[in-house]
Amino acid sequence: MMATTYHSFSTLPPGYTRLFDDWGTVGYNFTPAWFENFVETALDPDQQVRIYGIAAADRASTPVAALPMRHRARAGWMPTPRRLWGLSNYYTSLFGPVVDRGRVDRAHLIDELARAVCAERPRWDVLDLNPLDRDSPMFEEFRDALTRHGMLVQPYFAFGNWYLEVAGRSYADYLGGLPSVLRKNIPYYTRKLQKTFDTRIDLVTTNDGFTEALAAYDKVYRASWKHQEPYPEFVPGLSQTAIKHGWLRLGVAYLDGEPAAAQLWFVHAGIAAIFKVSYDERFTKHSVGTVLTAKIMEHVIDIDKVHTVDFLSGDDSYKKHWMSHRRERWGLYAMNTRTMTGCVSILRHVGGRAMQSAWAAWKRPGTEGATVATGTERQP
């Protein structure tokens, strides 16, 4: 195996693009298009991309694994911890290493990625990767691999993820299986809106009507309870990306010509992802958001024929009424037992007993680190 570090997606050999495209079937968060918009619009000026690539030792040097990360460029003379984060943030609903799924040596590929990160000089003091699929075998494999290469690893809870398994049902079947309150309220709220207002719901999937719909979305978002976006170009850029790749489902509900609710969904690889929902707080009592959700849900189930609807991040109480299942996303916070700053982080985040455990592990033959699996919902 051969490890190479790249500093942008544009410099990746084509084989890596195919690797990310293949993982895009797991979710749009793994596609090159997602990462390209992320890098363009959601990185701070002092952050840099670092992509670890693993290629097979064959004649073609076939890419078999990759891990996209980010770090801050050092500035000034003051010493600062060397931190490495996943190429993800609060916009990201799922992250992790990508590996060639046709190979049987997945754990070995994960180990090679961990080795590549931990072998760099100067060493990284802290690694933070999230949100990861806690139920995937790769979660444990990557944790164990980082441990073998000198890190003390603390898993932590990131967020709950509610989702719907459509299981071949029609929207009418799905509606019939909802909790009775929601099942009755959807048609009631719809009729009430139509009696009270001149009601119109637009669902934009292409460039036709996109500019108006995005402006309406922005207006609703600013009139909602939501905080303003810290990266204002991210959502417009992602929306344009979604149009280009056929993912976009941008719904806007108008009451008497005024945009009252807006939702941004993406449909990709049979999964409908509910990315952003908002409504103008002036229309709270009219439950226009519920009506809009139902309308888009009907479209993605009956027209797009998705197999999964994903409410992405968060345990908001209303989500469980729409969805059928819950899973968890976790993170891995890895601290380097071989650096002074890494050891300080261990003492700070885990405690002295863990530091003693790490030291004892170092002295045991064949062991290079220690793992701390607290099971607590702690995010460093």
Mean pLDDT of successive 10-residue stretches along the chain, which has 380 residues = 94 94 95 97 96 93 96 71 95 97 92 97 96 97 97 96 98 97 96 97 97 97 91 97 97 98 98 97 96 98 98 95 98 95 85 58 46 34
pLDDT of residue 225: 87
**Looking at domain 168-306, which of 2.60.120.1440, 1.20.120.1200, 3.40.50.1100, 3.40.630.30 is its CATH number?**
3.40.630.30
pLDDT of residue 73: 79
CA-closest candidate to residue 20, choices 50, 71, 64, 56: 64
pLDDT of residue 227: 86
pLDDT of residue 59: 86
Element (H, E) at 115: helix 106-118
Q: One fold for both 2-158+329-371 and 168-306?
A: yes
CATH fold group of domain 2-158+329-371: Aminopeptidase (3.40.630)
Q: Where are the domains of the chain?
A: 2-158+329-371, 168-306
Tokens 């992509």 belong to: 51
- Residue 380 CA to residue 372 CA, distance in Å, equals 13
pLDDT of residue 371: 40
pLDDT of residue 125: 96
What tokens appear for 1 in the block? 């195996």
Give this prediction's pTM: 0.90
pLDDT of residue 60: 86
Tokens 């849900």 belong to: 297
- Residue 292 CA to residue 290 CA, distance in Å, equals 5
Q: Pairing between strand 83-86 and 271-279?
A: unpaired
In sequence order, the β-bridge partners of residue 199 are 255
